[in-house]
Amino acid sequence: MTFFAFIVTVMLHWNSIEWSRLTLALFAFIVALMMARLQTSPNAAEVLSTANNPLLAESALPYQFPPFDRVKNEHFASALERGMEEALKEVNEIANRSEAATFENTVVALERSGQLLSRVHRLFGNLAAAHTNPDIQKVEKEMAPKLAAHSDAILLDPRLFARVESLHEKPDRLGLDAESKRLLERYYLDFVRAGAKLSDADKEKLKGFNAELATLSTTFSQSVLKEVNASSILADDLSALKGLSEEAIKTAAAAAKADGKEGKYLLRLQNTTGQPSLATLEDRATRQKLFEASIVRGNRGGEFDNRSLVARMARLRAERAALLGYETHAAYQLAEQTAKTVAAVNKLLAELAPPAVANARREAADMQALIDREGGKFQLAPWDWAFYSEKVRRQRYAFDESELRPYFEMNSVLTEGVFYAAGKLYGLSFKERKDLPIYQEDVRVFEVFDADAEPLAVFIADLYARPSKRGGAWMNAYVPQAGLFNRKPVVANHQNVPKPPAGQPTLLTWDEVRTMFHEFGHALHGMFSNVRYPRFSGTTVPRDFVEYPSQVNEMWASWPEVLKNYAKHHQTGEPIPARLFEKVLAAEKFNQGFATTEYLAAALLDQAWHQLKADEVPADVLAFEAAALKRAGVAFAPVPPRYRTTYFSHIFSSGYSAGYYSYIWSEVLDADSVEWFKQNGGLTRANGDHFRRTLLSRGGSQEAMTLFRNFRGSDPDIRPLLKRRGLEVAPSEKAAF
């Protein structure tokens, strides 16, 4: 019995209820409510009190910065429940208004609703990814179907949709500005795509799909993280680790000690198929063991096996898409992207795959020749690729990746590289804040100031790997910018850089350096947001557009002025030798056959799963995967997909379903934009201000490709991407974007 139902019962029977009975009934209800909460949460009595749950009130810290030091695991469930209750109450008030719908009393009112739930859900979701624990994971599983049902309760409410639809029928008569008109259009589409026009019976069916998918997605995510942490390989002695750097060996020893295996060496896995240590491990048996531990994740039986989850999710997504009037889940997803259609995505991937695989085969031949010259007497295998490609690189370009790392000390890369470039390009300055609370000891916090010295945002840097953090690198917003609430942004970047033993410097690979610049591109997108409505804040743009600004920001990692400012030897302070970095640049296209093929294989797998109709979803996940790769022409054994199906978190738990192609699609825009910067003088305030004004500050308030044209002055050209990736084709065969 809900509190609302209880009050209604009392009011209906008021005249027949004696005061004593009313008091007893009220007391009994409160006791029952408290007991129910106590049964589901060990500290429910405490968190029922607003005063004892900091999540129930807006943070009083600067920028509404989350009070990490006061938040406890047990606060989340009750705060999420309260948030849903308040949001539904606010939405019901909108739906039940007697006056005719107006933009302010309906659409803007919806934008203002649910602030408690949004705030708590953002914080909870971000911590679940960045610093989870069993309690958070339990709440995550319990809340996933409830949150899905809550969303359905709003988007499938016929009263709300009727109000929005009545406004959508006459947008030109409402006197709206461009951003407001777009907001109305987006709300209408949100309702329609969520099933608002379905029959009542189909709405109930849709709710069931959404609730089950939410649970399965959470289960998949938690299973992948748990297996990554459980799948490390153990070496008994140093001979198995020959070739690893001294720092890497110390890290492996520390990991083994932390795992109760002192005197041994533990190599932890990352979420990708390929593992960084494969590039330097000399012992082939160790390389094979490490690779095989990676490739079998989620598909070898036991508690972490994700095969049945994948098949069920693919079927449910296909059934949901059909219910909503789309041929496949991919068609449903792509309708909201800049690509628009399945055909457009298939065309791009099909045009890129053949030259990519051809390049990979040439690279493999070079490595096989080297193996043969060394008397290896074996065929190149996936666990050999990184090791022998590095050997070929050293021979061809006369440098070793390990030569670079002493010049890429992490703090220098961040403050003298990433921040420096942002200062030169946009006039930003940064001040580290030690007074704001953090959720983990390695996290750093910076206040960001605009060119006029006015406060702009807060930036959180969470760069080290740990078992409580999911794999990969990403950006998120704890507080998204919104003019409607006079709110400035709080954004965070996350990476998974292995933490060295205490007292040792953190030296990055060139890939980790570029990733830091990349993720900060996302952060800039969030920090520069200057929109009125939260619906359009920062990175709330199509999935195949969101990676574009961040990929553009990677260009500054190798820009000469920026490079010389941060790439200094961590011991001597000497700048990176020009001749060494020239070799790095010369080698940029090296191994691009591998890099492009492993990426395209994953992107094609994503499309294969999500272009299925429900009755086409296979029972044998691995057989389907193998057939899909062969059919797409990317089944080249030495180059497996960057992610195999059973640990492909992007598409089964992180919002990229039918969208993993986005990186290469965005790279078309990125490569073309880099050409624009180079043609217009590079690292200048004028260029930065133009990029910020026309694109970075606009969030999702305009069509994505309109924003690109506003910045670039033309439609995108695919040729810069082909040149960058070493995939040029004859002029008569040039691909159109």
pLDDT of 23 strictly over 80 = no
Task: Judge residue 14's burial from the number of C-beta atoms within 10 Å of its C-beta, 0-12 exposed, 13-18 middle, 19 or more buried.
Answer: exposed
Q: Which residues of 472-499 are buried (b: 16+ CB within 10 A; e: fewer)?
A: bbbbbbbbbbbeebebbbbbbbbbbbbb
Task: Judge residue 19's burial from the number of C-beta atoms within 10 Å of its C-beta, 0-12 exposed, 13-18 middle, 19 or more buried.
Answer: exposed
Weakest mean pLDDT among 224-233, 429-438, 619-628: 224-233
Summarize the confidence of residues 192-197 as an average pLDDT. 96
Question: What gap in Å lies between CA 578 and CA 584, rounded to an integer?
Answer: 10
Report the pLDDT value the prediction gives residue 2, as an integer from 0 to 100.
Answer: 38
Q: Which residues of 221-230 are buried (b: 16+ CB within 10 A; e: fewer)?
A: bbbbbebbee
Torsion sign (Cα): 552, 558, 561, 564: positive
- Average pLDDT of the chain is 90
Q: Domain 41-197 class?
A: mainly alpha
pLDDT of 226 strictly over 60 = yes
pLDDT of 457 strictly over 80 = yes
Query: Domain map of the chain by residue range?
Result: 1-40, 41-197, 231-295
Q: What is the dihedral of CA 467, 469, 472, 476, to 10 degrees?
A: -170
Greater pLDDT, 29 or 656: 656
- Would residue 519 show up in a list of annotated catalytic residues for this protein? yes
Residue closest to 117 by CA, chosen among 534, 407, 471, 431 = 534
Model confidence at 728, pLDDT cuts 50, 70, 90, reads low
Summarize the confidence of residues 55-77 as an average pLDDT. 96
Report the pLDDT value the prediction gives residue 49, as an integer from 0 to 100.
Answer: 54
**Can you say how many angstroms the Cα of residue 27 is from the centroid of all Cα atoms in its chain?**
47
Report the pLDDT value the prediction gives residue 621, as an integer from 0 to 100.
Answer: 97
Q: Are the C-beta atoms of residues 427 and 685 closer than 8 Å to each other?
A: yes
pLDDT of 3 strictly over 80 = no
487 secondary structure, DSSP code:
B
Q: What is the dihedral of CA 637, 641, 645, 647, to 10 degrees?
A: 120
Report the pLDDT value the prediction gives residue 737, as an integer from 0 to 100.
Answer: 58
Residue closest to 605 by CA, chosen among 622, 625, 634 = 625
Residue bearing tokens 């958070």: 136
Report the pLDDT value the prediction gives residue 15, as an integer from 0 to 100.
Answer: 36
Instruction: Summarize pLDDT for 525-568 with one digit per residue, the tens.
Output: 999 999 999 999 999 999 999 999 999 999 999 999 999 999 99
Task: Judge residue 368's burial from the number of C-beta atoms within 10 Å of its C-beta, 0-12 exposed, 13-18 middle, 19 or more buried.
Answer: middle
Q: Are the C-beta atoms of residues 390 and 370 closer than 8 Å to each other?
A: no
pLDDT of 7 strictly over 50 = no
Task: Judge residue 730's burial from the number of C-beta atoms within 10 Å of its C-beta, 0-12 exposed, 13-18 middle, 19 or more buried.
Answer: exposed
Greater pLDDT, 303 or 2: 303
Summarize the confidence of residues 81-100 as an average pLDDT. 96
Report the pLDDT value the prediction gives residue 724, as an integer from 0 to 100.
Answer: 86
Residue closest to 613 by CA, chosen among 415, 390, 407, 326 = 326
Residue bearing tokens 């970075």: 696
Greater pLDDT, 365 or 232: 365
Q: What is the dihedral of CA 417, 420, 422, 426, to 10 degrees?
A: -160
Torsion sign (Cα): 179, 183, 186, 192: negative
Report the pLDDT value the prediction gives residue 12, as an integer from 0 to 100.
Answer: 33
Q: DSSP string covering 73-110, please?
A: TTHHHHHHHHHHHHHHHHHHHHHT-SSPP-IIIIIIHH
Question: What gap in Å lies between CA 575 and CA 572, rounded to an integer?
Answer: 9
Weakest mean pLDDT among 117-131, 226-240, 302-316, 511-525: 226-240
Q: From the candidates 140, 351, 447, 519, which is the catalytic residue?
A: 519
Q: Are the C-beta atoms of residues 1 and 29 closer than 8 Å to each other?
A: yes
